[in-house]
Amino acid sequence: MNESVVWVLLFIPVLFLFVPLLSKSEGYMAGMFKTNDILKAAKMPQEAIHMSRSIDLIYFPILCILLVGTYHMHFMLLAGDWDFWMDWKDRQWWPVVTPIVGITYCSAIMYYLWVNYRQPFGATLCIVCLLVGEWLTRYWGFYWWSHYPMNFVTPGIMIPGALMLDLTLYLSGNWLITALVGGGFFGLFFYPGNWAIFGPTHLPVVAEGVLLSMADYMGHLYVRTGTPEYVRHIEQGSLRTFGGHTTVIAAFFAAFVSMLMFVVWWYLGKVYCTAFYYVKGKRGRIVQRDDVTAFGEEGFAQGIK
């Protein structure tokens, strides 16, 4: 991919961020965090506020640790092989599989943080937690334990796409626009965001009379047990079914599927974040209510049996 195209794609999030801020200096950032206004409207006593902050100091670190463990396990089971080895980071499957799997947890956590707390950093939080888990595994599991070079097992980054997801949700406040715009950019920005790191490994090299990419040559030097022979030649032969336009087509296909995956996992986040109550009305009829409408005229304490 042309380097100028890469820099243009990476410059788009900057425009999305600064143009609204320059046009409405008092609008977006000034009203982002309204904690004091919310506490004032709730008329909570000082002791309750202190207790709530103490619980937050315990709850949110535990949430981050759970994200590191569960998201890392989820990602490794579905896309880990494509993101483990340098010679598997090809131009056909790696830019497709990785963002499609990566957007899943981001969407669910975005629903949780946006609906409950109005905080638009769910995707960035997920990707940072994933990178923490990946680097811990790469260092202790691959480098320290198995003696693989760190530059052979460097994980890909999805922070540019995560920033676009959060920024789109923050500016629009609409999950559908976030799915179409942010989800598309999440898939499109994956390969350009990693180009500066992994681009040199696609340079050609002649080894023992055979033309290989640098990544393929690294794969031959550090052979893994159980690695299929055809996977280590992913950049050669008939597996390059997209011809000379592999990267562009793969990136746009990943963007399209990422939109769909965002919608599916947004609703999965809604299912897991919604508490259902069975409320008994005045006439004895029991109806199912969610955690918002259960606090109605019937009364919470008197209505639920």
Higher-confidence position of 225 and 116: 116
109 vs 132: CA distance, rounded Å: 17
In angstroms, the first-to-last Cα distance of the chain is 63
7-21, 116-130, 156-170: which range is least confident on average? 7-21
Give domain limits for the chain: 3-199+246-274, 277-305
Whether the pLDDT of residue 262 is over 90: the answer is yes
Question: What value does the mean pLDDT take over residues 197-210?
Answer: 81
Neighbours of 81 (CB within 10 A): 16
Q: Give the pLDDT of residue 279.
A: 67
pLDDT range class, residue 208, cuts 50, 70, 90 = confident
Chain centroid offset of residue 298 CA: 41
Closest CA to 275 of 35, 131, 55, 112: 112
Sequence letter at residue 303: G
pLDDT in tens, 28-47: 444 455 666 666 776 777 78
Q: Are 274 and 293 in contact (CB under 8 A)?
A: no
Q: How confident is the model at residue 266 (pLDDT cuts 50, 70, 90)?
A: very high
pLDDT value of position 23: 41
Rounded to an integer, what distance in angstroms lies between the CA atom of residue 278 and that of residue 141? 48
Dihedral sign of CA atoms 74, 77, 83, 89 in order: negative
For 162-191, b/e burial (b = at least 16 CB within 10 A) is bbbbbbbbbbeeebeebbbbbbbbbbbbbb
- pLDDT tens profile 40-71: 776 777 787 788 778 878 888 888 888 898 89
pTM score: 0.73
- The pLDDT assigned to 151 comes to 83
Residue 26, phi then psi, degrees to nearest 5 = -100, 0
Give the whole-angstrom CA distance, residue 128 versus residue 199.
Answer: 22
Cα–Cα nearest to 93, from 242, 223, 197, 195:
242
135-165: pLDDT as tens digits = 998 889 888 888 888 888 888 889 999 999 9
Of 182, 206, 2, give the one whose Cα is nearest residue 102: 182
114 Cβ contact partners less than 8 Å away, ≥ 6 residues apart: 120, 122, 169
Query: What pLDDT score was predicted for residue 116?
Result: 82
- What's the CATH number for 3-199+246-274? 1.20.1450.10
Query: What pLDDT, on the 0 to 100 scale, is given for residue 166?
Result: 92
